[in-house]
Amino acid sequence: MEEPMPKRKKNVVLISLDDAFSFWRYKDLFGIQLQTPNLDRICARSTAFHAAYCQSPLCGPSRASFMSGKPPPQTGVYGNRTKAFEVMEPSSMWQCRLKDDGYYCSSGGKVHHGFKPLPKDIHDILYSDEPKRFPIDLKLRKSIAQSSNGGNGGGISNIDPEDDSRYYDAHSSKSFVDFLESYDREEPFYREVGFFSPHSPFITPTRFKQMYNITDFHYPEAWKNEFHRSPTADKVVRKNFKTGHRRNWRKSVRNYFSAFSHGDYHLGTVWDALMASPHADNTVVIILTDHGHHLGENGRFGKSTLYEQSALVPLIIYDPDHAQPRTVREPVALLDVGPTVLEYAGLPIRPDFLGRSLRSVVYGETANPDRAVGTFNTHGASIRKGKFRFVRYNDGTKELYNIADDWWQQKNLGSEHPEFAALEQAHAELCSTHGLGFDQDGNGTRL
């Protein structure tokens, strides 16, 4: 009798956007349709987690967290100046488990923090191939014909379509296509695809700016109401944008939307190449970002806060064995990415991981609706639990918001709310399990 063929291990493609908001919340939030045709068709065959949260609202700490499977209080990385591999061993990253198990691990753009390749000695521990360097879209060369239409980032675009291939994301997507076309090894692969979009300064080809007429952008109705937050929040959450200047706000949001659509365009290149390849039926795809982005509410344009708009992120998992649309509204964490990949690879999940594999959820199980998911920065920590967001700053100030009724977090419900004590306890318990304690002055300390 013939022996049954051993089941092939799944390939894994991890795609990272940069500074990407939870796009489904913004589809028509400003009165104009956000154009993401490729994300839309991917979601039509995938599981989309609509309550996924980063563990840090800043690039470097978030990436150090979801690639190590450890939250910031355990990694010690809270800012971009602290390099992850100065405080953590490269071998502690979960992707090394794949490489040790025989996976061919290939880099391709910004997944670990930094647009430049990692130092060669670190790269060689994490990956099986050579480093790749792509041009960084922080400015266009003076020799490139360009226009500037104002708003946050300047509204810069290249004019000649011949220059469209110069962008970081064009190089990253082409690198992935080349990888697929040349990959002929027997071992399964783990491939990263890191995009620059929609990171500032939102430089794109002209056609992406032309997708959006600035006069079609309108403030949400809720913004007519004041933001009643704590004095501590008003102090530490720096206002960096004059939202009341309507024309500049419209141009700024147009710039961000156009950068998001630009990234979506190159994501389509990656998706089409995979679906046309021999690996289509055996490759799991995970799409994520490092953190969300504020677009002018309460004078804030950017990231780094403990509030919903900065902590909520897109997370999408495509499993070819379950290629059907599903929306998960229970809270999950970017800490779950490592355990999910390891389970798909048939590898044991480390007992010290705080994240949970989401594979069973992709297969139809219900995620825990009562789970608390934490986000940390240098000013404090917050949790999403149920329909609430609870924030605690290092000076002991606490805030409570009902995000189901008040998504912009304009009304602090205060300590008199009947759910306050339970949320305060849940916050304290999560901080303790994640390695964060508070000294007698209320300051956060590593346990």
**What is the C-alpha separation between 445 and 26, in angstroms, rounded?**
36
Counting beta carbons within 10 angstroms of the beta carbon of residue 329, is it exposed (0 to 12), middle (13 to 18) or buried (19 or more)?
Answer: exposed
Neighbours of 331 (CB within 10 A): 22
**pLDDT of 176-193, one tens digit each?**
999 999 999 999 999 999
E strand spans, 222-300 = 283-288, 294-295
| Res 437: pLDDT | 84
In the chain, how many H helices and how many E strands? Answer: 14, 19
Rounded to 10 deg, the angle between the 337-344 and 59-68 helix axes is 30
Rounded to 10 deg, the angle between the 246-275 and 168-182 helix axes is 10
**pLDDT of 360-384, one tens digit each?**
999 999 999 999 999 999 999 999 9
**What is the C-alpha separation between 120 and 11, in angstroms, rounded?**
24
Residues 6+ apart with CB under 8 A from 358: 47, 49, 317, 332, 336, 339, 340, 367
Q: How many CA atoms lie within 13 A of 216 on its CB side?
A: 12
Q: Which residues of the chain have a pLDDT value below 50?
A: 1-6
**What is the C-alpha separation between 405 and 399, in angstroms, rounded?**
15
Ramachandran assignment for 202, one of left (phi > 0), alpha (psi -120 to 50 degrees), beta (any other): left
DSSP 348: P
| Res 3: pLDDT | 40
Q: How many CA atoms lie within 13 A of 357 on its CB side?
A: 17
**What is the C-alpha separation between 398 and 94, in angstroms, rounded?**
34
Strand partners, 158: 146, 205
Asked whether 73 and 434 are in contact (CB, 8 A), the reply is yes
Strand partners, 436: 446
Concatenate the DSSP letters of all residues of 87-143 into one string.
HS-GGGSTHHHHHHTT-EEE--SSSSS-SSPPPHHHHHHH-SS-------TTS--TT
**What is the C-alpha separation between 196 and 139, in angstroms, rounded?**
13
**What is the C-alpha separation between 311 and 407, in angstroms, rounded?**
12
Measuring CA to CA, how many Å separate 212 from each of 31, 139, 428? 11, 22, 44
